[in-house]
Chains A and B, each alone.
Chain A
C-alpha cells in the first residue's frame, strides 16, 4: 500500500509537470485556434481527472485537488515574487503580506454578501479601489511635472489622496449598498442578488478588487521603501509582513472587522473556487507576466537588476521601474490570495505568518531566479512533493513530521545555494514563456521616430 502510494505520487508529479509543459508548448503555437483548443483541452484533462474513477478512487482525489489548487495559488504568488526579486533584483520578503491582504479583502466581500446578505463591503472595496487608482494615476501625472521630488513629499501626497479616496468609498459604498440591498429579498422570497450567478460575479469582482487593492497598498508602501536599497528593502518588507500579520491577529480589536475574528480565524467564507477559476486566473497571471517580461518594460525592469547606474545612464526610470515590478508582483499575490481564500474557506493569521512567508521565496530560489518556467515547475513540484509526498512519508515518523519538514527545507536551501545558486532549472523557459521570435521590421520611416523618442522622456517618480 505504501509503495503503491509513493509510486502514484511520483506519477502524479511527473504528470502535472508534463501537463504544464504541454500547456506552455501549445500556447506558443502560431495558430490562434490551436492555442484556444489546447487551453480548453488542458483545462478539460484536469477537470475529467477530478471526476473519472479507476476502481472506487478518482484519478485526482480531493487531496490532490487541494494540492493542485494550492500549487496554482503558490505559482501566482511566486511568479509575482520572481518578477520583483528574480527579474528586478529587489529582495522582497513582503509577498506573503500582500497575499494575506488579498485573501482577507476578497474573503470579507463574499462573506458579507453570502452570510450577512449585504453588498456594502463589495461596493466599498470596489469604489475604494477604483477611486484610489484614479487618485494615484492622476497624482502621478501631476507629479510628473517635477524632477528631484523628495520621496517623502510624494508619499505624503499619495497617502493623503488615498485616504481621501478611502473615506469617500466608505461613505458612497454604504450609501449605494443601502439602496441595492433590498434586492436580496427575504429568506422566503430570494431576490435578484441572492442567485448563484450573482454570487459568482461577486466572487470574480472580489478577487480582482483584492488583487488591485494589494497592488495599491504595495504602491503606497513601495514608494518610500524601494528607495532604501536592497538589504534594507528586505528588512522593511519583512516588517510589512509582520505588521500585516499583527493586524490580522487583531482584526476584531484594532481594526473594525469583527467578522474576521482576529486570531481565532475567519470561518464561513463561501467555497467558490472551482478548477475553472483557478485555471483562468493562473493563465491570466502567466500571460501578463510573460508579456510584461518580453516587452520594453520588461527589458527596462531587467536592466535595473543588472546595473542601476548603467540603466539610469540609458535613460531608464529606475525608481519607476522598481515600483512597477513591485506593484505587478503584489497584484499577482493579491489575486492568488483571493483564490486561496475561497478555496480553503477558512483564513487564520497563522497561515500568513512571516515564517510561512519564506515559502514563495524558497520556491523562487529553487526554480531559478529570473526563470518563469522554473517558478511554475517549482510551485507544482513543491506542493506535490513536499506537501503531499513528504508529509505522508514523514507522517510515519509521528507527530513531529511538520517540524522535520521545516528542518529539511533550510538544509535543501543551503545545499542549493552552495551547489547550484542559479536554481534547479537555471534560465530555461518552456514554449510560451520563451522570448517570442520577432520578425525584422521594414526599414523605419525617419519621421516616425519622433514619437518613441518623446515617450522615452523620464516619467514621474
Chain B
C-alpha cells in the first residue's frame, strides 16, 4: 500500500467515526490521536460541520440584537439606571461598609507628549507631619496618639482597648464619650501610612484608612445617621431600621440598608460603590435619586450624575481592609499610587508603557515598602528603583 492509500484509509476511518462521534470509543480515540492523517481529517470534518451548521438554510440563526440587549441588561452595561426604589430599610446584626474616596489628584496623570522621555510623576510624597488628628467643632486639634486620656475626655472621646484578637492589627481605637456635647462635630484625619479604628455613638464601627478624613457628630440626631468622608473607610454599621446610615463624600452618597459594601470615590471621574453583601443605595453628590445595587455589583459615577453598574471582583476590597495590598488585573499606575499614598513616597514612571501594565499583586502592608518593591521587581516586568522617598519605575 502506498502513502496515498494509507491517507485514504485514515480519512475513511475519520468519516466512519464521525457517524457516532459522541460515542467514540477509547480505541478509536487512541487510533485517531496516533494517526496524524486521521486526526487532520477529523479536524476538517469538524470544521465542515461547524461551517455548514452556520450556513445551512433553515438552521435558526441566533438573534444577535436580542443577545446584545440581554447581555447589556444582565451586565448592566452602559445602562444608566435611574429608578424609584422601595424605601425599605433592612436591619441586620452587623453591617459592614467600606467607603473609599482617594484624595490623590489623578490630574497628575498622563502628559502624553510623544518624543519626550521625562518621567511621569503619578504620586507625590507629602512632607507634612504624619499624625492622626481629631478636630472639634471649635477648631481645637488633638494629636490622638500623643494625647493623654484626660485631654481626650475633655474633648469628649475615650480611648478604647485595641482589637488584637487573632493577630489583627492593634488599632488605636476611639469612642464617643458618653458625656460629650450632643451637638459636637468631630473631624478625624489620618496621615499617609496610618489607619485608625473607632466607634461612633450608635455603635457603628469605622475603620479609617490612610490619608482620609471622617466628619461625624458626637451623637446622631434626626431621621438619618449622617457622616462625611474623604478618603477610604470601612463601616460596620449598627442596625437601626428607623434611621438609615448615610455616608457622603464629595462625589457620592451611600445609604446603608443592611449591607456589606465598599464605596470608592476617587475624583469625580473615578467614583465607585461596590456592594459585597446585602443591599445599598447610591446617589451622586447632589442627587436625590438613589439607585440600589446588588451584591458583587459596582456602580461607577458617570459625568451626568447617573451610574454605570456592572459586576466586579470583590477580593481587593476585602483584602485591603485586612491589611493587605491586593490587586487583580489592576494597572501598575494605580498600584504604585496606592503604594505611594500608604508609604508616603513619590512615584515616577520613566517607562511610560508600564503604567498600563495590568498586574496581579498581593503584599502585606506590614511587611513594608521595600518588600512590596521586591515582589514587584520579582515579576520581571519592570524594575523599580527606590532612592530615598522617590520610586522610579523603569
| A, B in one complex | no
Chain A residues proximal to chain B, CB less than 8 Å: none
Chain B residues proximal to chain A, CB less than 8 Å: none
